[in-house]
Chain A
Amino acid sequence: MLNTNFLNKKKGGLAPFFAKREYLFYIGPAFIVTFVLMFLPLFQIIVGSMHKWEFGKPLFDSEFVGLRNYIELNYGYVSFGKSLLKTSIYGFGSLAIELCLGLLIAILLTNMRRTRGIFSAIFIIPIVIMPAMVGLTWKMYLSYDGLVNWVLSIFHIPKMNWMGTDLALVSLILVDVWQWTPFFVLILFAGLQTLPKDPIDAIRVDGANDLQTFFYVKLPLLLPLIIIVCILRIMEIIRNFDVVFAIYQGGPGSSTETLPIAVWRMFMSQRQVGMGSAFSFILILLSFFIAFIFINFLKRTRVTH
């Protein structure tokens, strides 16, 4: 317990204020660190997005343009609308597959009592590889004579052009599924282990089979965890730059020009820090909006429970 008696001895000033609000001493340092690391850069992004700010120029020497950067987002050579569409397909496509596959593998692991330790260790490997390395490795795997087409040829499936316009986005989803499904597996497996036994036993006594037990008891109980994993993953996918850049650099054509690639193009190629900040701020709002929807959904599931 923090000794705040010395504050009570002094009259006037801020002492009475702090004496009644002891909690400020506990949350103060964390708040200051969070404020400096998060809100100041955010503030700079917001202010920067309202200026015609270029590299090498101080922000406050730049021309104030109000909301013009936001209005012109879709008129430059980097299209916000197109990038948003690509990001959505990539994000939700990956998320849906990873969730279904992750859940399935987690259930299988639950039933594998002896080998689950080995498999859990193996599943960690893709997660810990550096994203740029994942990109460069998969660039080789996805080439026409690469590993993916070799595997397909074993099943007599014709080789495909994974680097072409038609399959570029699908390939990105494939890479994301390879790297991040294990994340779902590990979390959901841990979740399945900690489910309360009483409701499961109760429905079993009522004559429910495995499928009914899963859909009526286990899945609803797992839902809060599923939502949290989805929030974490969607945030990650929305800002995934390294893998996309290492494999495709936004091409061919505009096939993989996702939002982070568009932001990079604005910042690095066009040196338009103001426009890049506008893109970034919308990306932040988008992440916030998606998290808000998921969290609301999470609250509702808790009420139901």
Chain B
Amino acid sequence: MKLLIKLIAIKIIFLFGTYANANDVDDWLAGLKTKYDGTELVFAMTSHPGTDGIQALVPEFTKKTGIKISFDIMGEGQLIDKTLLECQSPDLKWDVIMIAAETSPQMLHDNCTVPLNDYLMDQTIAPSEPFGMDDYVPAYLSLFKMDDQIVALPFAGETVFLTYRKDLFEEKGLKAPKTWDEFLSHSKQLKTDDVAAVVMRIGRGWEFTYMWSIFIYPFGGDMVDLETNTAQIDNAGNAASLEYLRKLLPYGPVGFENYHWDTSMTAIMEGKAAMSVEASALAGEYENPDKSRTAGKLAYAPLPTGPSGAYSGVWGWGLGVKKTSKNQEAAIAAIAYFTSKAKHQEYVDAGGPVSRTHVLANPDNQAKHPYYQATLDTLDQAAALYAKGKSAVPKTAKWFQISDVMGVYGSEAFVGERTIEDALAQMNEQVQKILDE
């Protein structure tokens, strides 16, 4: 009986909370309608599950505010290139830009986006409760904060974790690897002619650096020291991590050396790989039975431990407002709404990757999305890296240049075109040159 009363009480509180929440949101939108009715905004975004999530929220927003939104959707590389090339141009009629975490320092440096801090204090633009500034996963928000200025609002945070096939692991009597050595030994056992043991993005350029940075810190390596402005690449830890990646090469699929995030995702979804070290943002696609043959067959785990510890990183996408936009306030209100605490569950249900704490911590969501617990665990691993004063994405406007240099030499070492020693020495020299400029 007591339990029943408790449940009824919880239900009443929940219903009241939802009602109050809905009222707050309606008040917010009504306020926006009086100020910005008829405004037209252009969102520049890339094809991404997060974009699908945002698009699902648009009809209600437009209906209640009168703000019309159109989307200019392009490939990831094209969006980044176009943004970096033309963000200062008033001729580029974008109001909102989907910004990759790696490029956010550069956005601020190049004066491309509006710092959001002051606007977010305005209760008509972003009222504290339905918006919920404190509810963002702190690590995701920090990706878009430079010198205490908020460049963008995170909406599709990602960390990197381990995905594996439960059925194949059970067949071999294996459990999720706890160390990278164990991961390698699992790879040897899982590789067959039809199924690769491991997939991950490892192709030339920034994607190589993205993945390598996951291995650098567990093996005792480093990238740059921004306090002393020095490249820290030519060291034994980095050599060990590259050596380890090379050892994985035979256990990847044929053509592994040219795998990018999309090929890696496809391999898992088609059941052609037993394990994947990839972005958490892809897991929603893995678990979609309409798209994936392996939906329901996968399990997720935090990254294994290396000789120097277990670390992961955080990446992701945020929404920023272009400095030359003529509708800055309306655009900021729109991105505050789309990334708000009140709408995040709806966004996630439409396929968007999670970036708010209350959705991640919700037990119902954890039961529904088997990768949420692993996401929380790898966020802890990323926090451990932050605690060391390090990050997989160092906050410098030069990171985009640096990561490409590392990814080019790294890829050449990975396929055996260069020795690891030569690659690291060259990388260090080139990165130092970039830092000195």
Residues of A within 8 A of B (CB): 55-56, 76-78, 143-145, 159, 161-165, 168, 248-255, 257, 265, 268-271
Q: Is the CB of B254 within 8 A of A161?
A: yes
A144 to B84, CA, bound (A): 35
Given A76-B430, A77-B409, verify A165-B417 contact (CB < 8 Å).
Answer: yes
Determine the distance from Cα of A171 to Cα of B127 in the docked complex, in whole angstroms. Answer: 56
Say yes or no: B204 contacts A251, CB within 8 Å: yes
Q: A77-B405, A268-B85, A269-B400 are in contact. Are A252 and B430 (CB under 8 A)?
A: no
Check: B8 CB closer than 8 A to any chain A CB: no
**Minimum-distance CB pairs A-B, first 6:** A251-B204, A163-B255, A252-B257, A269-B404, A253-B415, A144-B254
Q: Find A251's partner among B258, B272, B426 (CB 8 Å cutoff).
A: B258
Query: B415 near A165 (CB under 8 angstroms)?
Result: yes
Which chain B residue shows the least CB distance to A265?
B404
CB distance from B253 to the nearest CB of A (A): 7
- Give the docked Cα–Cα distance between A165 and B413 (Å): 12
Q: Is B81 interfacial (CB-CB < 8 Å)? A: yes
Interface residues of B (CB under 8 A from A): 81, 84-85, 88, 110, 203-206, 253-255, 257-258, 260, 263, 272, 400-401, 404-405, 408-409, 411-412, 414-417, 426, 430
Could you tell me the dominant secondary structure of chain A's interface residues?
loop
- Name the A residues within 8 Å of B255 (CB-CB): 143-144, 161-164
Q: Is the CB of A253 within 8 A of B84?
A: no
- Provide a sorted-by-A list of 11 A–B residue pairs whose CB atoms are within 8 angstroms: A77-B408, A144-B255, A164-B254, A250-B204, A251-B257, A251-B258, A252-B203, A254-B408, A254-B411, A265-B408, A269-B206
Residue numbers in A under 8 Å from B263 (CB-CB): 143
Residue of B nearest to A272 (CB): B401
Describe B's contact surface by its main secondary structure. helix
In the bound complex, what is the Cα–Cα distance between A145 and B254 (angstroms)?
A: 9
Question: Tally of A-B residue pairs with Cβ under 8 A?
Answer: 85
Contact A56 B417 (CB under 8 A): no
Q: Would A271 and B257 count as touching, CB distance under 8 A?
A: no
Closest to B75 in A: A132
Question: Closest approach, in angstroms, between the C-beta of A139 and any C-beta of chain B?
Answer: 8
Q: Which residues of A contact B203 (CB under 8 A)?
A: 249, 251-252
- CB neighbours (8 Å) of B401 from chain A are 269-271
Q: Is the CB of A55 within 8 A of B84?
A: yes
User: Are B205 and A249 in touch, CB under 8 angstroms?
Assistant: yes
Residues of A within 8 Å of B426, CB to CB, are: 77
Query: In the bound complex, what is the Cα–Cα distance between A251 and B203 (angstroms)?
Result: 7
**In the complex, what distance in Å separates the CA atom of A269 from the CA atom of B207?**
13
Q: Are B258 and A248 in contact (CB under 8 A)?
A: yes
The reply to whether A164 and B84 form a contact with Cβ atoms under 8 Å apart is no
Smallest CB separation, A73 vs chain B (Å): 14
Residues of chain A within 8 A (CB-CB) of B405 are 77, 270
**Residues of chain A lying within 8 A (CB to CB) of residue B414:** 252-253
Asked if A270 and B258 make an inter-chain contact with CB atoms under 8 angstroms apart, the answer reads no
Report how far A145 CA is from B255 CA in the complex, Å.
Answer: 11
Apart from A251-B205, A252-B258, what 9 extra A-B contacts exist at CB < 8 Å?
A: A55-B85, A163-B254, A165-B415, A249-B260, A250-B204, A251-B258, A252-B411, A253-B415, A253-B416
Contacts of A257 in B (CB 8 A): 204
Bound-complex Cα distance A249 to B404 (A): 12
Give Cα A268 to B88, complex, Å: 15
Given contacts A144-B253, A253-B414, contact A268 B84 (CB under 8 A): yes
Residues of B within 8 A of A165 (CB): 257, 415, 417
**Smallest Cβ distance from A287 to chain B, in angstroms?**
24
Residues of B contacting A143 in the complex (Cβ-Cβ under 8 angstroms): 255, 263
Which of A56, A145, A164, A269 touches B205 (beta carbons < 8 Å)?
A: A269
